[in-house]
Amino acid sequence: MEKSLGYQTTVDFYDCDDTIIDSVTTIENILVKAAEIMNLSIVNTTIHEFSPIGISGVIVIKESHIAIHTWPEHKYVALDFFTCNKSFDLDEGITWIQNQFKSKRIEKNSSQRGFLDTIQQ
């Protein structure tokens, strides 16, 4: 695998409990606990509730960020993790989040960003 500056993991959660994914307090609590499970260091949290429904938020972590967008009307959540190295095992935290959202299905994708051989030094 080529050396890069960042590693992005996106997770789509389908068939979630719509009341859970439309609560700012619940979303924040779930993401904070997930960050702890994954040994990520939280710097700041911003979660916004839209009217009439839906939530977007970012948790800034020392390792980069966690971002979330919810569509309760579709029982869907888009979540992404960006970290500065591959030493973090996100799987346990992602499974925990899936259980909290009561999601029946997820799709996970990972990619690298900021390839060092293309960055001018």
Render pLDDT for 3-61 as a digit per residue (tens, 0 to 9): 888 999 999 999 999 999 999 999 999 999 999 999 999 999 999 999 999 999 999 99
Structure tokens at 64: 């980069």
Q: What is the pLDDT of residues 79-119, one digit of tens each?
A: 999 998 778 889 999 999 999 999 999 999 999 998 887 66
Active site residue 16: no
The answer, yes or no, to whether residue 121 has pLDDT greater than 60, is no
- Report yes or no: 18 and 79 within 8 Å, Cβ to Cβ: no
Measured CA to CA, the distance from residue 43 to residue 65 in angstroms comes to 9
At residue 2, the pLDDT reads 67
What is the amino acid identity at position 68? I
Active site residue 64: yes
Active site residue 84: yes
Catalytic hit among 84, 103, 110, 111: 84
**Number of Cβ atoms within 10 Å of the Cβ of 99:** 10
In the structure, how many helices (H) and strands (E) does the chain have?
2, 6
Measured CA to CA, the distance from residue 110 to residue 40 in angstroms comes to 18
At residue 42, the pLDDT reads 96
- Report yes or no: 112 and 2 within 8 Å, Cβ to Cβ: yes
pLDDT, mean of residues 54-75: 97
CATH node for 4-118: 3.60.90.10
Q: Domain ranges in the chain?
A: 4-118
